Amino acid sequence: MDPVLSDPPAEEARLVAHLAEGGLLAPAALRRAEEARQAAGEALIPALLALGLLGEEPLAAAAAAALGLPLLPRAALPPDPPLAERLPLRFLRRMRAYPVRLEEDGALLLAMADPLDPYAVQAAALATGRAVRRAVAAPSVILAGLAQLEAAAAPPEVALAETRPGAPEDATRLRDQASEAPVIRHVNALLQQAVESGASDIHLESTESGLRARLRVDGVLREAGLIASGLGTGVLSRIKIMARLDVAERRLPQDGRMRVAVRGRDVDLRVSIIPALEGEGAVLRILDRGAVALDFAALGFTAGEIAALHAMLAQTSRMVLVTGPTGSGKTTTLYAALNAVDRQRLKVCTIEDPVEYRLEGVSQVQVRPQIGLTFPQALRAMLRHDPDVMLVGEIRDPETAQVAVQAALTGHLVLATLHTNDAPSAVTRLMDLGVPDYLIASVLHGALAQRLVRTLCADCREAFTPAPDLSARLGLARLAAGAPIRLHRPRGCAHCGGSGYRGRTTILQIMLVDEAVRALVLRRADAGALAAAAMQAGMPSLRETGLRKALAGETSVEEVLRVAGGD
């Protein structure tokens, strides 16, 4: 049975030792936290979170491991908690606690954001007349659960007023509802949970039973709870207000942007609202500049790939294309390329739709088609500013392609993205857009195709020797080059949220336009012939690059095949 904090200082010392021995916090950071907590009279865990020295989820996992307590995910918090009549929501929110279940011996299992808080345990024991056992959950997990309880307890007439057919749209009512404390707390908890979990997007979808919330983490959607219908409209209205959108407009799509502070750091969010059959839906794209490393090595590029990219960036009067589907990290790669050029010596400009991250020392232009500022128009205007390096967010029409190629011909390094499946197809795509073959052969220096694959959690990945038929089918012996063939598979643990994966890395296919490829371009060869010539010169397929990373233990074969397929 879990002791009810019989010796709080000893447990606190165990947590500090675990943080130090596990390398989660440096000694200097621990000293800083100790000084701050003494000055503010705070407990250890709230002080660490307030200073932003450790994220919610890693700190919760560390506390659970150090104290020998269970770590609970959001799904473990029941929608109908026990002894709710004895533990008011106001008390639970103040204590950052959530009743989970009654154990076989009658003890109450209490999820706590701060399991070192003796007062919360004692107060819960007195209120319920039960022994209390502790569990650990991240603060955002507990706040999301409590917000759902508050929504369920909301007066039914609120939901009726919102869903009544033909009810007039009252902007004042919507703004008032968006300013209510439960709505504000729920939105804040959702944003905090998303940022702490490393999500790239928040998806809110209206359903008959409420507003469904999901987070896209490492490219895969995860459930984040159901917001009751009595609170759903208020949450969407709150997001509209924060993004400076029309709160009363529910018939047309709207796009906006907002900046919020989460754990002491600024995070930009791009907001898209669309009308749907069951009500409005929203997607919030999280643009956390502090979480994005604009460095080739940090993105997962190998030494050989980095050398090839630096050689491309050293050229003038050339074009470099990055291809791949939406969400494959093309823009991040281009930003890393801009980060690698000498911005003190060179004039660097970008044309984007939209501008995702703000880069110091770079002139960034936001395309606005509604007022006539299109990619071609912005590109022509930018050429009059005598740039050395130009980034074109996307070549999507013949006019943009023609102007970008002309810019590369006249002494500029042009970086741009295209939507193609592989690097050789970038050439045929330019031809489809009307660019003459001789111009492509003159200006195109190289093309990159890329995908993002999830990386295995280092804490729980499991090594194994693959079956001979699998090795033969995938050609692993050739890729291993005589080394033992060992692969890894995901298992799932508290550190990765049970998925077995944590983070993503890039797999690349780099095609350099050498004399052989250039001759094929001038003959207007198809993508297959271009790919054959490039592979003869050493270009790998995306699948081959991914399998090399699987052999290195970075990802799994299943993940590579999911993303790269039979390429």
Q: Which pLDDT score, from 0 to 100, does residue 30 have?
A: 78
Residue 58 has pLDDT above 60, yes or no: yes
Q: Which pLDDT score, from 0 to 100, does residue 452 have?
A: 93
Backbone angles phi, psi at 511, to 5 degrees: -110, 115
Do the beta carbons of residue 171 and residue 148 sit within 8 Å?
Answer: no
Q: Is 166 left (phi over 0), alpha (psi -120 to 50) or beta?
A: left
Residue 315 has pLDDT above 70, yes or no: yes
* Average pLDDT across the chain, whole number: 85
Residue 292 has pLDDT above 80, yes or no: no
Alpha helices in 220-329 (DSSP H): 229-242, 303-313
Task: Quote the tokens at residue 12.
Answer: 């606190």
Residue 156 has pLDDT above 60, yes or no: no
Residue 164 has pLDDT above 50, yes or no: no
Q: Which of 265, 305, 304, 307 is nearest to 287 (CA)?
A: 265
DSSP 371: G
Q: Which pLDDT score, from 0 to 100, does residue 161 have?
A: 39
What does the DSSP assignment read for 136-158?
A: E--HHHHHHHHHHHHHHTS-HHH
Q: Where is pLDDT greater, at 546 or 287?
A: 546
Q: Which pLDDT score, from 0 to 100, does residue 158 have?
A: 40
What pTM was computed for the model? 0.65
Tally DSSP H helices, then E strands, for the chain.
Answer: 23, 18
Residue 348 has pLDDT above 60, yes or no: yes
Residue 398 has pLDDT above 50, yes or no: yes
Q: Is 83 helix (H, G, I), strand (E, B) or coil?
A: coil
The residue-averaged pLDDT of 85-102 equals: 88
Q: Which pLDDT score, from 0 to 100, does residue 298 have?
A: 86
Q: In the chain, what percentage of residues exceed pLDDT 90?
A: 35
Q: Which of 119, 111, 113, 123 is nearest to 46 (CA)?
A: 113
What is d(CA 322, CA 280) in angstroms, rounded to the nearest whole number?
34
Q: Point out the least confidently predicted range of 27-41, 58-72, 103-117, 344-358.
A: 27-41
Residue 135 has pLDDT above 90, yes or no: yes
> pLDDT of 519-540, one tens digit each?
999 999 999 999 999 999 889 9
Q: Which pLDDT score, from 0 to 100, does residue 322 have?
A: 95
Question: In residues, how long is the chain?
Answer: 567
Parallel, antiparallel, or unpaired for β 389-392 and 348-352?
parallel
What is d(CA 567, CA 565) in angstroms, rounded to the nearest whole number?
6
Cα distance between the two ends of the chain: 55
